[in-house]
Structure 1
């Protein structure tokens, strides 16, 4: 089972004058909602997590949904033996999360993992479902904390682009 989560940073708060209703995509993806994120395999009790405090958590959720769709470009889907690669790079560093899909399974690794450690492996369909659920749950949490965010047109478009499955 997949567990995706986040924590917001107290060291990097959002600017107090932010109007969340009109915040543009760049601000939503790169300037707001900083913290840490993790992806865990609850069956093996292993996780990949950041501990930097400055990762834009909405951008992580958004990028993860994009990546899961990018990994589904082969028309043969889960029958494809050809590996499909994607990466999520963290804007303020050289660190990356690496994704490889083959036969309906996705391996998730990171630059900061020890070389001898095996990647986390998830079913692609389950990862898609969990990534979208995480995105919607995160938006609901953030909208509860930040007045006007639920009325932001970019957030509406994001939720429409990646509906819950």
Structure 2
């Protein structure tokens, strides 16, 4: 079972004068909603998480959805033995989360994991479903906290691009 989660940092509050209805994509992805994120395998009781406080959580959710789709580019899908690689860069550091899909499974590891620790492994379809659910749940939470965010056209486009499955 996959668990995705986040916490917002009190150290990096969003500017109070922000008009969330009109804020642009770059600002949504890189300047707002900072905190920490985690991706956990609840059956193995293991996780990959950040503890920096400055990760843009909406950008993480958005990038994760992009990566899951990028991992699905082989026309043979879950029958493909050829590995497909993707990485999620954290813009304020050199740290990365690394993804590798082979057959229908995705291995997830991070630069900051101990080298002897094996990657987390998830079924691709389950990771797609959970990533999209996480994105929609995050948008709902952020929209409850920030007036006008749900009316932003970039948010509408994002939700339409990655509908719940």
TM bucket by the smaller chain?
over 0.9
In the alignment, which residue of structure 2 is the partner of 1:152? Answer: 152
Partner of 2:126: 126
Matched, 1:26 2:17: no
Q: What do the CA deviations read for 1:43-90 (whole angstroms, capped 9, x no partner)?
A: 000000000000000000000000000000000000000000000000
Number of residues of Structure 1 aligned to a counterpart in Structure 2:
165
Query: Which portions of structure 1, spanning 4 or more consecutive aligned residues, are displaced by more than 3 angstroms?
Result: none
Aligned residue number for residue 45 of structure 1? 45
How large is the Cα RMSD of the aligned pairs? 0.2
1:113-159 per-residue CA deviation (whole Å, 9 max, x = no partner) reads 00000000000000000000000000000000000000000000000
* Aligned match of 1:67: 67
Determine the C-alpha separation between the residues in 2 that align with 1:59 and 1:52.
Answer: 15
- SS of equivalent to 1:142: helix
Instruction: Give the C-alpha shift of residue 16 in structure 1.
Output: 1.0
TM-score (norm 1): 1.00
* Gap regions ≥5 residues in structure 2: none
* TM-score, normalising length: structure 2: 1.00
SS of the residue corresponding to residue 121 of structure 2 reads strand
For structure 1, the 5+ residue unaligned runs are: none
